[in-house]
Amino acid sequence: MQGMEESLPEFVDVTEEADVFDNDSRGRLRLHREALVEIRSGDDRVLEGQLRDISLDSMYMYIDGIVSDFILLDEPVEVNIFLERQGCKLTISVEGRIVRTDRKGVAIKFDYHLKWWPIFTLLPGVKVP
């Protein structure tokens, strides 16, 4: 079949973006991506921040200053991740628990594997500062 190669879509070679993902200590692939994130507690407290990285079962987000009256370890939260690329918007919602805090942000473990995780593989990566 002549001309077939010309009609095939171009795929990104992930080896060229080796600096935007890594394997964490638990053996999970963790992607460094950029997105706005909102976490909402059961009593409607809201905290906003910036996604640093995401894996199939967890994520880390930067926040401006730790809000000690909001963050309770092991507290169930709803996570909303807002993706926007070239005028298209997508919100991914997932339930999880706050499992770690540090001076820059919080880590959240999802209650279930993130079924929408493959979408993050299609987004441009960012280097972690």
Per-residue confidence (pLDDT) for residue 124, from 0 to 100: 74
What's the average model confidence in pLDDT over 110-121? 90
Q: What is the pTM of this model?
A: 0.75
C-alpha to C-alpha distances, 99 to 17, 74, 84, 111, nearest whole angstrom: 29, 6, 27, 12
Per-residue confidence (pLDDT) for residue 126, from 0 to 100: 73
Asked if 80 and 92 count as a contact pair (C-beta separation under 8 A), the reply is: yes
Q: How far is 127 from 46, CA to CA, in rounded Å?
A: 27
Tally of CA atoms within 13 A in the half-sphere of 116 that contains its CB: 12
Tokens for 119?
């979408």
Encode pLDDT of 24-67 as tens digits: 555 568 888 889 999 999 888 899 999 999 999 999 999 987 66
Per-residue confidence (pLDDT) for residue 13, from 0 to 100: 35
> Looking only at Cα atoms, what is the longest distance across the chain?
65
Encode pLDDT of 21-32 as tens digits: 455 555 568 888
Domains located in the chain, CATH noted? 19-120 (2.40.10.220)
